[in-house]
Amino acid sequence: MRRLALVPLLILGLNGCFFGMLHRPGTLGRGNWDASIYGAFQFLPNPDVRQEIQNAGYLTTSSLGMDIMVGATERVDVGFHAATDGIGPFVRFAALRFYHGSVRNELTISPYFLYEPFISKSIAARVDLTYSWKLNPYFEPYVLYQGYYNRYFEPYFESAVGARPIGNVGGGYYHFYGGGTALNLYFDRASLRRGQPDLTINMELLMTTVLIPDSRIIPVLHFGFGVSGRQALRLLFAPPGPTSRGGLIFNLIGLLVGLGHSSYAPPPPDNTQTGTAAPSSTSTQADTTKKDSTGLRRK
């Protein structure tokens, strides 16, 4: 039982606390939906101070997450968030939208209501402020401010992990600021006409600071990468098919099952490229009949 109880702590130790948005920055529009899977890691501009930050009791690790959202109206999206900062619903609405020439400018506000299940088992709140420029159907850069509030998280985190999470500015409030870009891909003309990418590649670079005991303020960067769109869930959950090896989940299952079997039966040889493929029974029978009939005519 103790080993089972350590599994959530192991997951958190590998993933840390998550900051980042990593899905399409603009609202989706009524009836459209989006799914995203993403990961991020923290790093320091100066690697020489990493040990100093660790000695000050901070933890810098990677993180994982996924979101699903649907356009409720032309300016409002509703969704569900699951990451290492918590799980729960969120809403995103366009507080400001205007066009400068052909470029769509949009300011969105996204409040989250989350339950942090791993360490403090408490309720948290989060808000994302995002300003994006949709330069064309393929390219959407944006700037982002993200705040997270959980007054119980830090003391429980320190007692469970033995370190403080990055981004805390006091009173249970954490924040990051930075920006990123969404690269939209369309696999057919219908998707382009609807303005709904089949696959979006997201990249973000966020920053926060930590205060170490000698009163120096050290910047910490947070780089994230994610995929979203109609094809994002397929990359994760697609079952194997005649033209696909399946998504990540099915490949991991196959890997785990394969590790339990030491025997391996190679596939039958394919000699079609060398022109020596074995003849089928039908062609052999036809050749025999032809020879017999030829022999009879010769007689």
Helices assigned H by DSSP within the chain: 2-15, 50-55, 153-161, 189-194, 232-237, 248-259, 281-298
Considering the domain boundaries, does residue 269 fall inside one?
no
What residue numbers bound the domain in which 42 lies?
2-251
pLDDT digits (tens, 9 = 90+) for 69-79: 999 999 999 99
Considering the domain boundaries, does residue 8 fall inside one?
yes
pLDDT, residue 133, reads 96
Considering the domain boundaries, does residue 273 fall inside one?
no
Considering the domain boundaries, does residue 75 fall inside one?
yes
pLDDT, residue 47, reads 73
Q: What region, left, alpha or beta, does residue 69 occupy, with left being phi > 0 and alpha being psi -120 to 50 degrees?
A: beta
Considering the domain boundaries, does residue 257 fall inside one?
no
pLDDT, residue 11, reads 38
Considering the domain boundaries, does residue 292 fall inside one?
no
pLDDT, residue 218, reads 85
Nearby residues of 7 by Cβ (< 8 Å), 6 or more positions away = none
pLDDT, residue 157, reads 81
Taking the C-alpha atoms of residue 177 and residue 236, their distance in angstroms, rounded to an integer, is 29
Nearest CA among 76, 88, 85 for reference residue 32: 76
Total number of domains in the chain:
1
Q: From residue 77, give the alpha-carbon distance in Å to each of 69, 84, 216, 233.
A: 6, 22, 41, 18
Considering the domain boundaries, does residue 287 fall inside one?
no
Nearby residues of 249 by Cβ (< 8 Å), 6 or more positions away = 236, 237
- Other CB atoms within a 10 A radius of the CB of residue 77 amount to 26
- Indicate the average pLDDT of the chain: 79
Q: From residue 241, give the alpha-carbon distance in Å to each of 188, 200, 246, 293.
A: 21, 23, 7, 46
Q: What is the mean pLDDT of residues 15-37?
A: 83
Q: What is the mean pLDDT of residues 198-221?
A: 86
Assess whether pLDDT exceeds 70 at residue 165. yes
In sequence order, the β-bridge partners of residue 184 are: 200
pLDDT, residue 9, reads 35
pLDDT, residue 259, reads 55
pLDDT digits (tens, 9 = 90+) for 81-139: 998 889 999 999 999 999 999 999 999 999 999 998 888 889 999 999 999 999 999 99
Q: Which string of b and e fits 188-223 if b means at least 16 CB within 10 Å?
A: eeebeeeebbbbbebebebebebeeeeeeebebbbb
Question: In this structure, what CATH number is given to the domain that contains residue 151?
Answer: 2.40.160
Considering the domain boundaries, does residue 154 fall inside one?
yes
How would you class 244 by CB atoms within 10 Å of its CB: exposed for 0-12, middle for 13-18, buried for 19 or more? Answer: exposed
